[in-house]
Structure 1
Amino acid sequence: MPLPGGELAKRELHFFWLTDCSGSMSINGKIQSLNNAIREAIPEMKKVAAENPNAELLVRALKFSDGAEWHIEDAVSVEDFSWEDLEADGVTDLGEALSLLAGKLDSAEMTNRGLPPVIVLVSDGQPTDDFESGLEELLSLPWGQKAVKIAIAIGDDADMDVLNKFIDNPELEPLKANNSEELTAYIKWASTEVVKSASTGSSEGAVEESDNVALPAQPQPHSDTDDDSDVDVF
């Protein structure tokens, strides 16, 4: 039965993958594990979007190594979203990636009626450029402050202090993936449960408001993967 006054306009929820493609990501199958994890998460993302018809989930992806560039620059509806594999080479110019991301969050595409963006950063190392400057640019924006920022560390060499600064939320910690199974679990949580909370929370989401999204409990690392020879260990 049609709603009085017509259908409710969908509110946009912009989702950003922010992926480390430095040379160290080629070690121990990390980059391929990341590709596989994102690809496996896509059907679950589509399911979450279908369960909340009042929100329009739009996806982009940004990669950084020697500099930063968009892997998927134009916002793609999750229904049309597919993943092309990333390749690893070069250094870790995270600061440039944050600056590039800030440009999108400050664009006319990000309407005041939108839901808080979700940004998922995945990295296995330390920034090799001016990370602080890029982060300052991101956090100077209303949507940069209000965005739900999730960080996933791959292996033992990721800079946890940098990831904590990116998250900018004392109630959240970086998730540390020690193997491919944990990485897949964290990627799925960030792209489904976090998206669900961001799209169905009580906040109206307007950029001028200051209330935060109530996030689900962070997943715990698996403890039974050490004896599984099929799991890539980072």
Structure 2
Amino acid sequence: MSKLPGGALASRPLHFFWIADCSGSMGVDGKIQALNNAIREAIPHMQQVALENPNAQVLVRAIAFAHGARWHVAQPTPVADFRWPDLKAGGETDMGQALRLVAEQLRVEAMPARALPPVLVLISDGQPTDNFDAGLQALMEQPWGKKAVRIAIAIGDDADLSILQKFIGHPEFQPLQANNADTLVRYIRWASTEVLKSASSPASQATTATAATNVPLPPAPDAGTLPESAEDVW
């Protein structure tokens, strides 16, 4: 391990953001509760990944967006202490405002110089009802916004995949589409463990990484089989 004057190199902060759609449509067919369950189920696995990599200090926050955007978990919380409060659905889909909130927290003066690339996981079942492009521009104007690992999960067939692809910003990485609760659990766990593992690994610290591929992403999990009951498919 590299040394600093006075001792070993301290762990580097890695900021992880859940950016969750809470619009009215998320209240249909149990989607919002499935999302709550999937994130809550993923937390112990996320904590284990962080425990296995003491060189990274994983700090978790969450944003909810519907009519406007708000901090669902405002403080950068050490993953070992992170708990998930349930989201409730209702309102529009102001995704652009959510990206502006993230952008404010990724300003150079708000981020430690030694931080690892942040991980942003955007989850939505619809189309933005505000100015998404302006929100994305605000995010990408921040150097840490460009460096961020940006993952998008579409819930159901009505999600705007082209918008989610814009958020990802890389042609080789596609939005993940969850059409049932089991697939959502699988994708949420992948984003919060395998992606987190890659972002906190030494490879993510390489100076040769490009802006588009700053962290080598692991293969996404298979979507699995659809439930037999059409009622369980979004």
Q: Structure 1: which 5+ residue stretches go unaligned? A: none
Q: Is the 8 A contact 2:108 2:143 kept in 1?
A: no
1:32-71 matched pairs, under 5 angstroms: 32-71=33-72
1:17-28 matched pairs, under 5 angstroms: 17-28=18-29
> For 2:174 and 2:210, how far apart are their aligned partners in 1?
24
Q: Name the counterpart of 1:215.
A: 217
- Tell me how far 1:112 sits from its aligned partner: 1.6
Q: Name the counterpart of 2:232.
A: 232
3-state SS in 2 of match to 1:191: helix
3-state SS in 2 of match to 1:115: coil
Q: Name the counterpart of 1:187.
A: 188
- What is the letter of the counterpart of residue 233 of structure 1? V
- Tell me how far 1:169 sits from its aligned partner: 1.1
- Tell me how far 1:228 sits from its aligned partner: 6.5
> For 2:109 and 2:206, how far apart are their aligned partners in 1?
16
After TM superposition, the runs of 4+ consecutive aligned structure 1 residues lying more than 6 A away are: none
> For 1:7 and 1:157, how far apart are their aligned partners in 2?
50
- Tell me how far 1:205 sits from its aligned partner: 6.5
Q: Name the counterpart of 1:199.
A: 200
5-14 vs 25-34, which deviates more? 5-14
Q: TM-score, normalised by structure 2?
A: 0.93
3-state SS in 1 of match to 2:8: coil
- What is the letter of the counterpart of residue 214 of structure 1? P
> For 1:57 and 1:71, how far apart are their aligned partners in 2?
18
* 1:1-40 deviation line (CA, Å, top 9, x unaligned): xx89533201000000000000000000000000000000
* 1:167-214 deviation line (CA, Å, top 9, x unaligned): 0111100000000000000000000000000000424268x9746101
3-state SS in 1 of match to 2:205: coil
Q: Does 1:173 align with 2:174?
A: yes
Superposition CA RMSD, Å: 1.9
1:119-198 matched pairs, under 5 angstroms: 119-198=120-199
1:76-155 matched pairs, under 5 angstroms: 76-106=77-107, 108-155=109-156
> For 1:205 and 1:143, how far apart are their aligned partners in 2?
15
Q: TM-score, normalised by structure 1?
A: 0.93
- What is the letter of the counterpart of residue 15 of structure 1? F
- Tell me how far 1:140 sits from its aligned partner: 1.0
Q: Percent identity?
A: 57
Q: Is the 8 A contact 1:12 1:55 kept in 2?
A: yes
- Tell me how far 1:139 sits from its aligned partner: 0.7
Size of the aligned set, in residue pairs, is 229
Structure 2 CA distance for partners of 1:105 and 1:57, relative to 1, 3 Å: same
> For 2:162 and 2:38, how far apart are their aligned partners in 1?
24
Q: Is the 8 A contact 2:108 2:144 kept in 1?
A: no
